[in-house]
Amino acid sequence: MAEKVQPIEGEVKKSSKKLIIIIVILVLLIGGGAGAYFFLMGDSGAETEESTENSDKKEEKEETKEEKAEDADDDEEVDSAGVKLESLYYDMSKPLIVDFPRGSSIRLIQVSVSLMVKGQETLDALKKHDPMIRNNLLMLISSQSGEDLASREGKEKLKEAMKLEVGNVLKKMSGSNRLKEVFFTAFVMQ
């Protein structure tokens, strides 16, 4: 019959010690890895929150600086109650038509104009003073030469002169100039 081989006690003790050491090492590695993961993620999460808070504070400071810069550039962006004024457009009801004398290079000019203003109050002032604005713009256009108006630069100069003229009327008649831009919606020369 077959003889049973009995292990020597020293070999059993060595293999069980090896098994315990391997288990302890695995537990330490897994526990250490998990601990390191949570430790590092916990710190980076806190850093992320802190950096998010810091970046939010920086953005608020930058926005405040930008708002102050805009207010410095344009004090009339906000009404007396501190409410930001919206941009509104005013289309002049009829086009501005000017006849030029016979010796001029052009006979007739027809210009349709839209004005961008800040706030309803300014829009109401434009409607109220439309006859004076039309008169001043017609006088301004009739003082231009046909050669100047034929070029883009001449049209840009006319646009700036119109902006200045309308702004002067608003300042004189309503006390404030919240005109932001003048737009040509039609520009016909014959």
Q: What is the pTM of this model?
A: 0.57
**pLDDT over 90 at 21, yes or no:** no
What DSSP state is assigned to residue 104?
Answer: S
Q: Give pLDDT, residue 8.
A: 58
Residues 87-120 pLDDT 10s: 899 999 899 999 988 888 888 999 999 999 998 8
Yes or no: say if 94 and 131 are a contact pair by the CB < 8 Å rule: no
What DSSP state is assigned to residue 95?
Answer: -
Q: Give pLDDT, residue 105.
A: 82
pLDDT band at 75 (very low <50, low <70, confident <90, very high): very low
Cα–Cα distance between 189 and 76 in angstroms, integer? 36
Cα–Cα distance between 178 and 76 in angstroms, integer? 7
Yes or no: say if 140 and 165 are a contact pair by the CB < 8 Å rule: yes
Cα–Cα distance between 111 and 136 in angstroms, integer? 14
CATH class of 87-189: alpha beta
Please provide the average confidence, as pLDDT, over all residues in the chain.
Answer: 79
